Amino acid sequence: MQWLWGQPVILLTLTTLFWAGNTVAGKVAVGEISPSLLTFARWALLSLVLPLLYARQMRAVWPVLRGRWLYLAAMGGLGLAVFNLLFYISAHHTAAVNIGILQGAIPIIVVLGAFTLHGTRITGRQVFGVIVGLAGVLTVALRGVPSGLADLSLNFGDVLMASACVLYAGYTLGLKSRPAVPGIVLFCYFSLFGAALSLPFAAAEWWGGSIIWPTGAGWLVIAYVTVFPSFLAQIFFLRSVDLIGPGRSGVFVNLTPIFSALLAVALLGEIFRAYHGAALALVVLGLWWARDRGTARRG
């Protein structure tokens, strides 16, 4: 485990794999549990379990975090909980091609934001890597048919997903100025705020009569999204940002739609086509070119 903790490439690959699983879980959740309830359930469970495990550490760092409650609310409530909520809802209103393209914009937002907010240097190699990686995402989103780009049109779901991408890019950038406390302890506080901010949405869903209480499959979805995308992926991502920074960590988000396609083949019986292989090659090349050579050698 100690060796793994120093390998950002492996940690980020697992992170994006778990996030891709969240896409499959979101599809399974349709009709099994409503979006707001699913969002609240995943963060509420973590906010109950994590403080039991890390109560002493949370108390120890509270003097440091007391004055940063707005930061905690923005990171946990907006960057995590509301991002998930918008993601789940947007899938009901827009096509997968649109979501794929918009998710591919996250690394670009992160790199540009890192330059604007933190003065992070952007090399020509990084820019080229991001562009190549995005080309891979577009290949998946358009299913290998470039003419499909002309058929895209914004709708309510597109706007929601674009907003979600901005929120998660902001979360990634916000990790750069996080307080000097252990990542797992900070994540405990993020979970608390994530549960608190998602509760009103679940309550509104219940009040409006659109809530779907979890079925057996719904509980399985809750279990998966709580353990893997919500907990392990976020911890791995926090550690990776520590090792290689938010800009280069954000580039790995391009792997998520690729893994989503592979999981769809393995779990949903969809056909693996030539454009999936081409997209995977483009994303891997993009990650290679966008990496920080110095950090890679140290890691």
Evaluate whether 57 touches 64 at the Cβ level (below 8 Å).
no
- Which string of DSSP letters, residue by residue, matches 187-206? HHHHHHHHHHHHHHHHHHHH
Q: Which pLDDT score is estimated for 47?
A: 93
- Rounded Cα–Cα distance for residues 183 and 175 (Å): 10
Identify whether the C-beta of residue 80 lies closer than 8 Å to the C-beta of residue 194: yes
Concatenating the DSSP letter of every residue in 211-237 gives -----HHHHHHHHHHIIIIIIIHHHHH
Q: Is the distance from CB of 191 to CB of 235 less than 8 angstroms?
A: no
Look at residue 284 in the predicted model and tell me its pLDDT: 75
Q: What torsion do the CA atoms of 30, 50, 201, 67 make, to the nearest 10 degrees? A: -150
Structure confidence at residue 148 (pLDDT) = 57
Query: How confident is the model at residue 100, as a pLDDT?
Result: 64
The CB density around residue 266, as the number of other CB atoms within 10 Å, is 11
Q: Per the confidence metrics, is the pTM higher than 0.85?
A: no
Measured distance CA(58)–CA(78) in Å, rounded: 21
The two structure tokens encoding residue 221:
């979805």
| Tally of CB atoms within 10 A around 125 | 14
The pair of three-digit structure tokens given for residue 111, joined into one six-digit string: 């790199």
DSSP-derived letter for residue 33 is S
State residue 288's pLDDT score. Answer: 73
Integer CA distances (angstroms), 265 to 24, 58, 260, 269, 270, in order: 11, 42, 9, 5, 4
Nearest to 241 by CA among 189, 292, 166: 292
Q: For the chain, which residues make up each domain, given as ranges? A: 4-292
264-291 pLDDT per residue, tens: 778 877 677 777 778 778 877 777 776 6
- Mean pLDDT taken over the chain: 82
What is the reported pLDDT for 96?
56
Non-local (6+) Cβ contacts of 49 within 8 A are none
Structure confidence at residue 62 (pLDDT): 93
In the block, tokens 């920074």 appear at 245
d(CA 151, CA 75): 35
Q: Which long-range contacts (CB under 8 A, 24 or more apart) does 116-122 make?
A: 117/173, 117/176, 118/173, 118/176, 118/246, 120/245, 120/246, 120/247, 122/247
Q: Do 131 and 271 form a contact (C-beta atoms < 8 A)? A: no
Mean pLDDT by 10 residues, the chain (299 residues): 82 92 84 94 94 93 92 93 90 65 72 76 78 76 61 68 86 86 90 95 95 95 93 88 78 79 77 75 75 46
Residue 32: DSSP 8-state: T
